[in-house]
Structure 1
């Protein structure tokens, strides 16, 4: 009887151990399955650029020099292939030269003032980030282009001589303002590997139609027809090309 009880107790103990081992194995298998599923989801995310091992969002300051003048940006990397930048650009231009207009010499003076705030996004279709598509918009705070054409000397009309002050001057002006969408490409790496790098932007802003004026003084004051033609000619000047070099200094 004692042996029977001992045998039954031993069998019960073995069954209990086996049950615990089976439960532990089931729990382990479920845990391993969850880990595999998580790993698969993680790998899928990597393929779609949602996650990158050890990825730290880079931050840099970018100095601009090009056709939209000089300026600066703050850049932030949201994902390995997607970054954004916000900044400003300023164009201060003053230029003058003498040339012949019809049969007499004149002096032309060009003054241009453009300033903008822009918000752009860079997306790289390639892992190397050597080529990026850039899109966004700019708010044109000021966009003025002014030309003054004035004679450099007197002029003879038949037997009559007139001075340059009597002839007067012509003033042509164009004004742009408001939102301007931007589309372009960027070449070379978005952010420096270490501290500094240089990249390039090529694209264009699409401006609103400009307001214009075309006036004259003294003998050149009758310009109604010329003003209409000037406005018609300038209405198509809505593209502002951008070719600029960017100097990047990485902060993080």
Structure 2
């Protein structure tokens, strides 16, 4: 029994030794592999191409599309409102990658600092707001569909927005596939606002500059992403 135990211990030590040699041989390799990935997250979905340079640098280029539609029930004073919200945030981007811990083992080896920029072909939002109930002027009931609607258009200029973030890149699933996790954000241009109204709300456009001043600092677009990439070169 003791002899079997000794054999098992020696075998485990040999396996750990082989594993340690394998890790040491990969410490100087770039943790990023030439690959193509699919990404989904808070800023939409898209494709990403990864290309390493040297031991700890790389570049990634791709595009992201975010069509967003929702409905919001809110209040204006004592009245319930219904808002149809649409947003379109589409970009192409190039990011430069730096792996500061490329000599480490485990997850730290795949920690990447991203910096670069994206060009937003579209960066705009549209809100259509109506009352969700009738309005009473004294004893007179005015049905909500006779009151009209307020349309708000928000537009970030089509320009290049800088990006900064962190990522865990190319975490092995197998020899061909890896996982990617990203956290960062774009800094957009200051938005412009156009406000129009219909029927009884026709003259609400005077509130447009007020809304524009209130949201002029809403320029940070956060991005949390999860992706799967396919390596062009086998890893062992």
Task: Decide: shared fold, TM above 0.5.
Answer: yes
Q: Which residue of 1 aligns with 2:229?
A: 248
Per-residue deviation, residues 60-87 of structure 1 (Å, max 9, x unmatched): 0111111110001111111221111110
Per-residue deviation, residues 125-183 of structure 1 (Å, max 9, x unmatched): 11253211100100000011111111223211113221223211111111112100101
CA RMSD of aligned residues (A): 2.3
3-state SS of paired residue (2:86)? strand
Alpha-carbon contact 1:173-1:214 (below 8 Å) kept: yes
Alpha-carbon separation, structure 2, partners of 1:224 and 1:188: 47
Greater CA drift, 96-105 or 168-177: 96-105
Structure 2 unmatched ranges of 5 or more: 1-26, 103-107
Greater share of residues in strand: 2
Give the total of aligned pairs: 201
Q: Which residue of 2 aligns with 1:226?
A: 207
Q: TM-score, normalised by structure 2?
A: 0.78
Pair member with larger Rg: 1
Q: Which residue of 2 aligns with 1:101?
A: 76
Alpha-carbon separation, structure 1, partners of 2:98 and 2:33: 15
Alpha-carbon contact 1:129-1:189 (below 8 Å) kept: no
Q: Which has the higher contact order (CA 8 A, sep 6+)?
A: 2
Question: Displacement, 1:104?
Answer: 2.1
Distance 1:106 1:65, change over 3 A: same
Structure 1 unmatched ranges of 5 or more: 1-51
Q: TM-score, normalised by structure 1?
A: 0.73
Greater share of residues in helix: 1
Q: Which residue of 1 aligns with 2:38?
A: 63
3-state SS of paired residue (1:222)? helix
